[in-house]
Each structure stands twice: as C-alpha cells, then as structure tokens.
Amino acid sequence: MNAPAPLPLRIAPLTREAFAPFGEVIETAGATAFPINAGTTTRYHDLAQVKLAGESARTLVNLFEGKAWHPPLEIRMLERHPLGSQAFYPVDGGRMLIVVAPPGELDESKIRAFISEPDQGVNYARGTWHHPLLCLQHPGRFLVVDRGGDGHNCDEQLLKQPLSALNLP
C-alpha cells in the first residue's frame, strides 16, 4: 500500500492572536516594558508563563542548536509534552517554521503553521502538538525553557496524511 501524497501546508505569519490557541508568542512588541538597574536595562516583563505538572517537576533552561531546514519540507509527525509548557526563543535571530495542533487527541484537520520573525519565539502550551524545531535558512541557537523531573513528558505521533511545505514566505 502506498503512503498518501503530502497535502500542502498553509503557513501564516506568527501573531499573538493567531497563535493563542497553542500558547504564547514571545516578543517585545506590545509587551510591558520598564527600566531597571538604574535605567541601564529595559525589562520586558511576563512574556510567557512556564506551566509544569507532575511530581518533582522543575524548570529547565536549555540551549538547543538546530540544523537548517530548506524547502521542500515534509511534516510527518508531531509531538506533545503533557506535563509542561515548552518555550523557544532564538538567540541568534533565527526564524522558525512552527507547526502546531491543539491539545487533546491529535486532530490533523486542525494543524496550523506559522513562520516566525527573527525577534519572535513561542511558548507551546502544555499538551499542544508541535513539530520539533525547524530552523529556517541557517542553523539556529535557541534558548529553551521546559520541564524536567519524573514522569513521561513526550508523546510522538505519526501523521496519517503528511504535509508538504514547498515554498516558505
């Protein structure tokens, strides 16, 4: 039996409003900001909320280095973290292709795709389905905040119908 041909993946710009069902956009535009340290630093306050569940949960701060992806891309799987949110922010101005679906049982008809700007990151809400890191154009370094501790915190699921991104905006 042949695998189904990939469906085209529609990609939208990353905005707070469009991404709200999946988590939070991390960006300074529109954020609460105020000076600290005698005016030498600007604090962009409360950009995302780290949410953790389960016993012995703790917050991890990580640095990920992702390889560059170039079109055409095929999306064949998504993963989710049922016990905690997971935030990604580029430290070198890298852009991401963000492929997500709402928490719960994976509904492939609700998969959405976004493309970030170099100064945007995301915080995936706990249980949100998402593709692993997809750096665009060049390898990227990302500050990642997620959950550590006991318990199973990563589910992966193959898609019944792969998706294809032939061109990126």
Q: Look up the pTM and report it.
A: 0.89
Give CA angle at 16 (65, 108), nearest 5°.
Answer: 75
Is 80 exceeded by the pLDDT of residue 1?
Answer: no
* CA dihedral of 88, 165, 131, 91, whole degrees rounded to 10: -20
> What digits encode the pLDDT tens for the residues 61-92?
999 999 999 888 999 999 999 999 999 999 99
Flag whether 88 is in a domain. Answer: yes
CA distances from 101 to 7, 66, 113 (A): 16, 21, 9
Specify the CATH number for the domain of residue 12. Answer: 2.60.120.480
- Assess if residue 150 is contained within a domain: yes
pLDDT digits (tens, 9 = 90+) for 111-165: 999 999 999 999 999 999 999 999 988 899 999 999 999 999 999 999 999 999 8
- Asked, for residue 1, whether it belongs to a domain, the answer is no
Residue 2 · residue 159 · CB < 8 Å: no
User: How many domains does the chain contain in total?
Assistant: 1
**Is residue 158, in this structure, part of any structural domain at all?**
yes
Task: Provide the pLDDT for residue 94.
Answer: 86
Range of the structural domain that residue 63 is part of? 7-165
| Residue 11: inside a domain | yes
95 in any annotated domain: yes
Q: Is 2 part of any domain?
A: no
Tell me the torsion sign for CA atoms 95, 149, 156, 19.
Answer: negative
* Residue 52 within any structural domain of the chain: yes
- Kindly state the average pLDDT of the residues 37-51: 90
